[in-house]
């Protein structure tokens, strides 16, 4: 995985961590921006906006700039419909649907409901550390 272009969906929690703190998620995001292809859905963008606004209390103008930056650097897709039985948290189905619609190689998330799946169809579901280690290896 290290030398090839990887097509990836980053879950909301990865974006939030990447923009809120300097650390592994920021490194993952920057590496994906520079060397790989990121796919996103509008629902993930809405979640990012909500977390930045409600939980982190960021000003709207900063949130708008972050959302525009993300949109300009990602392929935006309409999520595929995923059966409810696939994931124990039905609010995560759109994330899997985004990965399917974008025909990505992997989905990177910190969400335990998604991580317990390990894989969906051809899509590997990885933690930020697992993804980073694969890129580095």
- Higher pLDDT pick, 136 / 101: 101
Q: Is the pLDDT of residue 117 over 80?
A: yes
Q: In 1-137, which ranges are continuous DSSP H helix?
A: 12-20, 24-35, 42-50, 60-72, 93-101, 112-115, 128-136
pLDDT for 10-69, tens place per residue? 999 999 999 999 999 999 999 999 999 999 999 999 999 999 999 999 999 999 999 999
- What does DSSP assign to residue 86? G
Q: How confident is the model at residue 76 (pLDDT cuts 50, 70, 90)?
A: very high
Q: Domain spans of the chain?
A: 7-136
CATH for the 7-136 domain, from 3.60.70.12, 3.30.70.100, 3.40.50.1010, 3.40.50.1100: 3.40.50.1010
Question: What backbone torsions phi and psi does residue 57 show, to the nearest 5 degrees?
Answer: 55, 40
pLDDT, average across residues 108-126: 97
Residue 74 pLDDT exceeds 90:
yes
Looking at residue 136, its pLDDT comes to 84
Strands 123-126 and 7-10: unpaired
Q: Which residues are CB-contacts of 15 (< 8 A; sequence separation ≥ 6)?
A: 25, 29, 44, 48, 70
């Amino acid at each position: 995985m290290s030398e090839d272009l990887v097509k990836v969906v980053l879950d909301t929690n990865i974006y939030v961590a990447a923009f809120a703190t300097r650390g592994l998620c920021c490194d993952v995001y920057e590496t994906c921006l520079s060397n790989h292809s990121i796919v996103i859905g509008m629902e993930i963008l809405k979640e990012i906006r909500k977390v930045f606004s409600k939980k982190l209390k960021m000003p709207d103008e900063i949130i708008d700039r972050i959302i525009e930056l993300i949109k300009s650097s990602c392929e935006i897709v309409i999520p595929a419909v995923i059966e409810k039985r696939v994931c124990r948290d039905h609010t995560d189905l759109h994330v899997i649907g985004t990965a399917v619609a974008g025909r990505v190689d992997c989905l990177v998330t910190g969400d335990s409901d998604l991580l317990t799946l390990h894989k969906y169809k051809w899509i590997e579901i990885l933690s930020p550390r697992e993804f980073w280690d694969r890129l580095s290896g």
